[in-house]
Structure 1
């Protein structure tokens, strides 16, 4: 943890090299860009790894987080990390592939903040954020943070505004704002 309600607590890492945790430097910069604290809402950490980004968002004021990962080792670590917070009822841990979770979530929740940190070899950011919008999983004004390698170029995405792109070494953060459906 860097800041907020759970400040100073150490999170566990996923053993091996199948996950790529966001470094503390990138995480701190990200939350400085987003605004250091939140006033409620729901966050989705879709490729959660350790769950660190979603846990940090709740620590900084989000009401609840859904932490999704498809790897069993990651789910075990996420469970341990959520236990460190001492408020497990504010977290939902889902062992599923991202696309499978999004299909199940339709009609059950809307998110105010979404973290997308897929494996670099499987980056489908535009497809994923379009699915989130098409399936009504985002509140108007929701922000989506995509963590990718620096080789990704984003086309214009209907209903989204690319607000900022920042590069940290081999990592790039892109922050999108959901403008809502044109019908609204």
Structure 2
């Protein structure tokens, strides 16, 4: 596992020990970041269910200014901190050990708004519809912001609607699919 592009291109990253997390492959990471916009010009990223922090670190390497990493596993938090230190980006990140829904509420209280939100929860354990509704209701996503969902191909995700446009939906195997939304509020 490594950083694919940007200022830390090629930097190796550690995976979380054990089998509780499933890292996004470099091939998938490269494909999805190309479709979201290969590079960013500043902005904030929220990496919920961060695991090793690989996706959030990729976003930082590609130009995001600040990142918030959230995971509820101690091993994941330790790995994220190690990876941030390895890529010398600790000063551009906050790392929290908590549940995703608590993290959403805490971010809302701090009035944080994100340009990119990365969702890669354990498969079959989380309702993407409920999670995305919570993100929108708590005003965490910027207008024209992107919500990335990595999921089992059989998972039900929200349909395109007045607020969400599907930018990309692709199955990478019979166990991994990605859906990317753009949030457009009709104010």
Structure 1 runs not aligned, ≥5 long: none
* Paired residues of 1:42 and 1:110 also in contact (CA < 8 A): yes
- Per-residue deviation, residues 37-89 of structure 1 (Å, max 9, x unmatched): 10110001101000000000000000011110000000000000000121311
1:123 equivalent in structure 2 = 126
Provide the rounded CA distance (Å) in 1 between the counterparts of 2:145 and 2:5.
Answer: 22
The normalised TM-score by structure 1 is: 0.95
Q: How does 1:10-159 map to 2 (within 5 A)?
A: 10-108=12-110, 109-156=112-159, 157-159=161-163
Matched, 1:176 2:174: no
Provide the rounded CA distance (Å) in 2 between the counterparts of 1:14 and 1:74.
Answer: 6
Provide the rounded CA distance (Å) in 1 between the counterparts of 2:130 and 2:162.
Answer: 11
Structure 2 runs not aligned, ≥5 long: none
- Per-residue deviation, residues 4-32 of structure 1 (Å, max 9, x unmatched): 11111111111110001101111011111
The normalised TM-score by structure 2 is: 0.94
* Paired residues of 1:79 and 1:93 also in contact (CA < 8 A): yes
Provide the rounded CA distance (Å) in 1 between the counterparts of 2:32 and 2:157.
Answer: 19
Provide the rounded CA distance (Å) in 2 between the counterparts of 1:172 and 1:147.
Answer: 6
- Label 1:155 to 1:86 Cα distance change in 2 as closer, same or farther (>3 A): closer
Instruction: After the TM superposition, list the runs of 4 or more consecutive aligned residues in structure 1 that deviate by more than 6 angstroms.
Output: none
* Paired residues of 1:143 and 1:175 also in contact (CA < 8 A): yes
1:160 equivalent in structure 2 = 164
Q: Would you say how many aligned residue pairs link Structure 1 and Structure 2?
A: 182
Provide the rounded CA distance (Å) in 2 between the counterparts of 1:138 and 1:35.
Answer: 17
* Paired residues of 2:124 and 2:155 also in contact (CA < 8 A): no
Provide the rounded CA distance (Å) in 1 between the counterparts of 2:50 and 2:157.
Answer: 22
